[in-house]
Structure 1
């Protein structure tokens, strides 16, 4: 006898994107994201504005997700939401809505750790994308996180390396700001880098022992470099934008790959998965794919729409937690910081 399908509505509101998705077991039926362009004029996310925009967006986004999935809310088996980490005001909007909707429909509520979701996004059933086997190493790289994680099972993960200061996504965005590029600048650095010489301007790697990262020193190094060069030639940035971006991207990729090589040597694990918004970077994706022939690694790169913040990744964690009856009651609270 075939088991009934599990329909999960997932809600993600950890930062400035309001997202909702509907999954039928491990397949995505809809994945809707409402982005907030208002932050661009401020050069970064403004928490108060983000939470207000979530309040405006959450009902229509969920409505569209259900309609795209072709199901009624009464068919839902459970609701998953991002509990944290993230911006508190933003998390509260998604968490409060999820609790209220689960209560009104009398269906289970599932809380999800945002970073677990980036790791487990690889288990969404997507044609043309393989799923890693346990154990594997996951590198989560985003605006707020840079981590190497040993993933033993769906609910057994261990951080074995992380940034001691800034995240890699912040390094990209702050470097872009130094170059006068608008927010978010990371994708623009990637765009210009594809046209430049990555060896044009050599930057120094920070000396950090073990598997941990540091990017604050690199940001300072880039700032002083640009200030010195523009003092000599006011048009330096405009004349060398492609080469500067290529050089910045090259050193960041080298820093990431150096640590990943050490992690493989120390653990003996050669299955590598990446996740998080910065995993959309073309240079990082290409470099990781090259390791398959260079080192014999098996690499897993998520579908582009599952790299940046989205609700489908929340839904896949919700699905596997649903199978294990890992539910919450209405007393569950959102947390800006939450243990991994």
Structure 2
């Protein structure tokens, strides 16, 4: 038995809640995970985990042992980092999750080649998908997320950039149905709804010290901002969309903004990663790079 490996397998199984999740995180087979835990229990002479086909829980001995080994494993990692200069060089595979629209409609995608050129020992595995992944269970090093406000306090986040939303539609739609003069006018308009927003059924507008919340509805709900943009350009309705996604269409006249005297929510883009005592250099390097390339580096913890 490789005791250090067994200890790390046990820790990951406890923190992730299952052997399957530990298998994905450590990139080991489920059989290897089970074997390491079994050998550790045999070495100690106690059962550490109660496990069935559907459930896993710590025994009393397992709970006590887990509390003892976590600090030891963290200290070993710290010692390795402090003694090996090579650990300070960004290297290895960097697994990133990012929204498709955000990546393709902002300069984010174009920064990847520059990042790889600067750090030749790093490999990037960028997964574009319009869903919120579980970073730990699915083995991602970090995620790029766009949100109105931070949700999960267990994650460390770094703000990359901020862009305002604009309310807009095609000239053809505005000619047929008129432009809203007040936020409340949106109740009679066909609003294209972005379902992954934190507010798909309600838009909020501000002017001076006044905030107006408007329930909105429409015939088209979609989980892609690119699809929202296409619907707007086709004259289907109005929508609240990050300005950076439609800047070219606004400048060309294909879309027109409305309610310009009101401000709407801002889209904040963050790099998020699990809160750990030690963050590997490849993660730090990437976050620092995109903040420098794209803009605003306010730190949020």
TM-score (norm 1): 0.24
Higher strand share goes to which structure? 2
Largest Rg, 1 or 2: 2
TM-score (norm 2): 0.26
Higher helix share goes to which structure? 1
